[in-house]
Amino acid sequence: MKHHAVQLEPPDLARYRRGNARVDYVHVFDSGRRGPNVMLQALTHGNEFCGAIALDYLLTEGVRPRAGRLTLAFANVAAYERFDFDNPDRSRFIDEDYNRVWGDDVLRGARDSAELRRARELRPFVDAADLLLDLHSMHEPCRPIMVCAKSEKSVALARRIGAPADLLLDTGHPAGLRMIERGAFGDPQSPRAAVLIECGQHWETSAAEVAIDIALRFLRVSGVVDDAWVEARLRLAPPAEQRLIRVTEPVVAKTMQFRFAREFGGLEVLARKGTLVATDGETEWRTPYDDCVMVMPSMAHLKPGTTMLRLGRYA
């Protein structure tokens, strides 16, 4: 099966299994001083291991909070452990997408899966977090994107972080609630906020550099780590400016006959309204306005109900 080259080496996480929070692969550090409860999560998807590299880096560097509490969690380790260099997409999840199960109706329901069991273990940490960063990567090559869910307050958090250049105000996923949309994170009246960083193509060397850099910048903004500790470790220069993409509609596959009109690059801008984007049987998707942004187009996970692309515009 053809796939993008795997340039990164998956880190050995065995030493992190026994955390200090009575849940495998979860590490909690409490400063004993008043401050925010901050969480970073990696391996929401088992084949997106640039985030695991970032958490491994922070733990190796001995990160500790000066105030508040810091939680570092490796999420879907079970999927990650079956990573195969010859078929790297296979380890995205075991039974279902871990990042579509965060509604209370699902978490507290009767349904069972490997991902639901893990989400139920991590729910108390997620629900306790004031600020949360979820570390991801993308199947196709693309500039890094900070996903702010549907929340203006998350856009404000991303601007304080100062990177990457492209921010995304999304419409959610019809297949289920993401972690960064859960509970107070999605409540505009709550000060709690969460963002999701797409660090680039899954296995590019640069994705790990982005993951480490964004994790450090997030920690600095949260106030739980000394500025000097962060400044000494930053990897990348911040962008000259950040631009916000507002998604207006998702393109969701109805059948297995879904096809893009041509190959689109991530964040490619289509100049003309009415340009054919995709077909699905008799259904056609066309750009609804000039200068339409193609957000994360990919055929990698085609099945009915899957978001194949988002259509957006720069604000």
What percentage of the chain's residues is helix, strand, coil (to nearest 5)?
Answer: 25, 25, 50
Q: What is the mean pLDDT of the chain?
A: 96
| Beta-sheet strands, E only, within the chain | 26-30, 37-42, 69-74, 131-138, 145-147, 166-169, 193-201, 243-252, 259-260, 268-270, 276-280, 283-286, 292-295, 307-314
Q: Cβ(222)–Cβ(36) under 8 Å?
A: yes
Q: Is the pLDDT of residue 1 over 60?
A: no
Given a cut of 90, is residue 172 above it in pLDDT? no
Name the band, by pLDDT with cuts 50, 70 and 90, for residue 301: confident
Which of 130-144 are b and which e, b meaning 16 or more Cβ less than 10 Å from the residue's Cβ?
Answer: bbbbbbbbbbbebeb
CATH number of 14-231: 3.40.630.10
Assessment of whether the complete model's pTM goes beyond 0.85: yes
Neighbours of 201 (CB within 10 A): 20
Q: Does residue 204 register a pLDDT over 90?
A: yes
Give the mean model confidence (pLDDT) for residues 299-313.
92
Percent of the chain topping pLDDT 70: 99
Where residue 174 falls among pLDDT bands split at 50, 70, 90?
confident
- Nearest Cα residue to 147 out of 268, 39, 157: 157
User: Which of these, 137, 163, 154, lies nearest to 266 by C-alpha position?
Assistant: 137
The band of 285, judged by pLDDT with boundaries at 50, 70 and 90, is very high
Integer Cα distance of 15 and 274 in angstroms: 53
Q: Which two tokens stand for residue 138?
A: 């993308």
Structure tokens at 100: 């579509």
- CA-nearest of 174, 127, 168 to 145 is 168
pLDDT at 40 over 70: yes
Beta strand pairing status for 166-169 and 283-286? unpaired
Give the pLDDT score at 173: 83
First to last CA, the chain: 39
Q: Where along the chain do the CATH 2.40.50 domains lie?
A: 246-314
14-39 tens-digit pLDDT: 999 999 999 999 999 999 999 999 99
Lowest mean pLDDT among 29-43, 186-200, 265-279, 294-308: 294-308
Write down the residue that tokens 């997409």 correspond to.
89
pLDDT band at 2 (very low <50, low <70, confident <90, very high): low
Per-residue pLDDT tens for 69-82? 999 999 999 999 99
Query: By C-alpha distance, which of 170, 43, 162 is closest to 94?
Result: 43
Model pLDDT, residue 3: 79
CATH 3.40.630.10 residue spans of the chain: 14-231
pLDDT in tens, 207-217: 999 999 999 99
Nearest to 15 by CA among 25, 23, 5: 25
Torsion, Cα 241 198 19 112, to 10 degrees, reads 140
Q: What is the pLDDT of residue 32?
A: 97
- Classify residue 85 as exposed, middle or buried by CB count within 10 Å of its CB (0-12, 13-18, 19+): exposed
Indicate whether 175 pLDDT > 70.
Answer: yes
Share of the chain above pLDDT 90, in %: 92
Average pLDDT over residues 155-181: 94
Confidence class for position 112, pLDDT limits 50, 70, 90: very high
Mean pLDDT of 117-123: 98
The CA distance from 88 to 1, in Å, is 10
Structure tokens at 310: 């988002």
CATH code for the structural domain at 246-314: 2.40.50
- Read off the pLDDT of residues 141-154 as tens digits, 9 standing for 90 and up: 999 999 998 889 99
